[in-house]
């Protein structure tokens, strides 16, 4: 299991940041691995996503398992090659949003052999994505 956490302060109020992140279709704008994301008809808590991880591409469902308005989003992704849970935590910081994102990933089958490589690259990729999100929201 690989666990990675990134955090930053975004100079916008919590409700604005929460609303933007809650709409997972926005991930294509700031997450370099997400090439497509669309809400599943009649299920606003599930998104069909295309993920490009360089060595392989996946199209699977990203499901919002828990939502606490302006506080927490927990989402999961299942495929034959991996399972991950993303936890987005939102806290007020003097009118701005302090955002913490934790990713817990479990690789399966032959992909488990690449765990060391994935672990090395995941933190930097998550920071790049978080910085892109911050730039978008603060612009």
**Residue extents of the structural domains in the chain:** 2-138
For 2-138, the fitting CATH number among 2.40.10.10, 3.40.50.20, 3.30.530.20, 3.40.640.10 is: 3.30.530.20
| pLDDT attached to residue 113 | 66
| pLDDT attached to residue 81 | 82
User: What pTM, to 2 d.p., does this model score?
Assistant: 0.92
Look up residue 88 and give its two tokens: 């987005």
Residue 127: how many CA atoms within 13 Å on its side-chain side?
4
Beta pairing, strands 2-10 & 57-68? unpaired
Please, what is the angle between helix 14-22 and helix 115-138, to 10°?
130
| pLDDT attached to residue 119 | 72
Per-residue pLDDT 10s for the chain (139 aa) are: 889 999 999 999 999 999 999 999 999 999 999 999 999 999 999 999 999 877 678 899 999 999 999 999 999 999 888 899 999 999 999 999 999 999 999 988 767 766 666 777 788 999 999 999 999 999 9
């Amino acid at each position: 299991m690989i666990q990675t956490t990134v955090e930053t302060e975004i100079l916008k109020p919590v409700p604005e940041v929460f609303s933007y992140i809650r709409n997972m279709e926005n991930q294509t704008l700031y997450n370099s691995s997400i090439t497509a994301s669309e809400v599943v008809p009649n299920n606003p808590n599930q998104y069909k996503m295309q993920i490009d991880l360089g060595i392989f591409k996946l199209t699977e469902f990203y499901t919002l398992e828990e939502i606490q308005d302006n506080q927490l989003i927990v989402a999961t992704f299942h495929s034959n090659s991996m399972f991950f849970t993303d936890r987005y935590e939102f806290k007020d910081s003097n009118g701005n949003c302090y955002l913490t994102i934790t990713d817990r990933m479990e690789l399966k089958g032959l992909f488990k052999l690449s765990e060391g490589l994935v672990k090395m690259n995941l933190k930097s990729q998550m920071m790049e994505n978080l910085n892109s999100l911050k730039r978008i929201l603060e612009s």
